[in-house]
Amino acid sequence: MARKLIFDSAGLLRFAERLKAVRKERNVTQEELAFRADLALSQIARIETARTNTTLSTVFAIARALEVPLPELFNFNLPEEREKLD
């Protein structure tokens, strides 16, 4: 059985929107977040525009850098179904 690529565009978009909102609530720029989390600015930009399926380790680094509990970044509802890639 072949492995399927899982890329939930709708879910990633919701996460991206939430991350951006939390970052702005904390008055942190993308540049500052990248510095604090020891990530590339381009990586933060790709996450906030849902262009990448980031790792959990990166999410942990972002939560620590923003000094927010992890659930704060996941405080959104997923769409009923994920978009499927063929």
Please tell me the distance from the alpha carbon of residue 78 to that of residue 1, in angstroms, as a whole number: 28
CB 48 within 8 A of CB 16: yes
Q: Does domain 9-73 have CATH number 3.60.15.10?
A: no
Determine the Cα–Cα distance for residues 2 and 72; give it in Å rounded to an integer.
35
Confidence of residue 85 (pLDDT cuts 50, 70, 90): very low
User: pLDDT tens digits for 62-71?
Assistant: 999 999 999 9
- Name the residue ranges covered by the structural domains of the chain: 9-73
**Tens digit of each residue's pLDDT (9 = 90 or more) over 7-35:** 889 999 999 999 999 999 999 999 999 99
| Radius of gyration of the chain measured on its C-alpha atoms | 13
In angstroms, rounded to a whole number, what is the distance separating the alpha carbons of residues 64 and 25? Answer: 15
